[in-house]
Amino acid sequence: MCPTSPERNPADVNGKTYDYVIVGGCVLASRLSQDPLVSVLLHEKGRVQDSITSRILLTSQNLGMGEGLQVQDTRWTETMPGANGRQNQLYGGESIGGGSRIIAMFWTRGSPADFASWVEMGSYDWSWDKSELYFRKLESAVAHPKARFRGHDGDHSFLISFPFQWNSFLEKAARKVGLPIDKDCNDPDAPVMGYFHLNVATSSRGERVSEITAILKQGLAIQRQDRLTVCTGVVASRLEVDSRGSLVTGVELIKELPAVGATFSDHYSFLIMLELPKKRRCIFWNPLGVVVKAREADGTGNLDASNSRNTREVEIMLMPINTLGRGAPGHCVFSFYPTLVQPHGKDRIEISSRDPLAHPRITYPMNKPGILKEYEKMARTDCDGGRMGTLALTTTGIEAAPEKMHVEVKPSKNKSWRDVTDDEIDNYVRRVAHISLHYSCTCPMSNDDKTGVVDRRLLVHGFKNLRIADASVCPKIMSGHTMAPVMMVAARCADFIKEMWQLDISDDLDP
């Protein structure tokens, strides 16, 4: 540990009392410690380790580096019947800053339709109008300096993607299939479907912007040491709330909430790759997203982003890298990455042992069989994503990566992407689809403690002073990347807490 680091060990805080105790949460710790009259303890499992490796764009998202980036890479799902009995590896960031230290840095707020669907499910405090303000407070939209709907004074800066020669080919492909072109995927008035340039959380120096570099900087943590204590190397040893897993393992409960872990959801992806001609090769990272399909595909009416029926279902990410997870020496490839962003199946996460270090049992909801109607929807959406990616390939005039690469990049060895059937695409997805690191909905918001874990102000049912503020509280998974929504949820949680303590102070002052 560096002598100037604000990190403390568990022994340093043992026996002390604090006004607020946070388990993993830079945004919440930063917001609550703004008040010099309160004391805040932030518990984190990992260390800071703010190294050059963790700031470089490519190395910082190399999940294979393991301990070097404090990547949790030893968790696996149970076997997935809908994915040919495969298991998927579940990665997580365990350094301070969590997933923002290792994910692909895409800054997407989500569509107003996402928040409209939350309101329809009973989360009335989470409409787009009430949530947008918090996105603005977080943002410093360097890439959109004059945009009226973007924030310009926040801590979190991001740029538009680097220029890349393939942009012109991809935009041409999008126009040919009738997709609108939009330069900002976070414009609330943008159409639901279209070809979008994504914002990336990078600084003007080309370094990763994470919660530890933007929200809870070392200088800020040192400045607030009198009221903010950052304790690292912490492992939980007591369980407060859970459901079925606790009953099976014999862990004593304070409150049973059956919805804990019972509605686990995540996006999942599969890949389509092509090999670039030498004259088109480039090393720049240039993420773009093509949202190709909304739920209600019934003409131009499905472009309205405020209608909850128009939630996005498929996103195709376009990335000039090999996304196989293993090398293809001698080949320069480009990836089309169809992703199901409104999965129709849900499954569960539950504790597996009384040992606090044991991994939970994770049943992953990929191609979940058993509910025929839902499975048919999922298979149809997968095929739509595959065919849209195929059409984009065809329009660019470049064929899919050749078989000589010795990798599975096509659904059939004897056919091209142009003539495969829906069944062949479905079988291909079962073979190669994998997780997208957007784990959500395991402690969802609901007014009913039978179907939810927290209320609309993020208080855990049955507790006066316990809240949850991360992707687990989403009543329905976002149809985009989850970094920005999670930070928004944490910022709102801080205000809920501040409002509560103002009420407590008022009560104390009453005669």
Question: pLDDT of 157-197, one tens digit each?
Answer: 877 655 555 666 677 777 877 788 888 888 998 888 888 87
Boundaries of every domain in the chain: 162-197+268-340+367-432
Query: Which of 197, 344, 438, 461 is labelled catalytic?
Result: 438
Mean pLDDT of the chain: 79
CATH C-level class of 162-197+268-340+367-432: alpha beta
Contact (Cβ atoms closer than 8 angstroms) between residue 359 and residue 352: yes
Summarize pLDDT for 213-232 with one digit per residue, the tens: 889 888 898 999 999 999 98
Calpha distance 93→265 (Å, rounded): 18
Statement: residue 305 has pLDDT above 50: yes
* Per-residue pLDDT at 75 exceeds 80: yes
Active site residue 197: no
* Paired tokens of 183: 């330069």
Q: Which helix (H) or strand (E) holds 241?
A: strand 241-242
Instruction: Kindly name the residue from 144, 156, 461, 481 that is annotated as catalytic.
Output: 481
What's the pLDDT tens digit per position in 283-304? 444 455 555 555 444 444 556 7
Show the tokens assigned to 9.
Answer: 């060990």
Least confident of 234-243, 250-259, 281-290, 500-509: 281-290
| Band of pLDDT at residue 506, cut at 50, 70 and 90 | low
Phi, psi of 91 (to 5 degrees): -90, 155
Q: Let me know: does 84 contact 431? Beta carbons within 8 Å.
A: yes
Catalytic residue check, 359? no
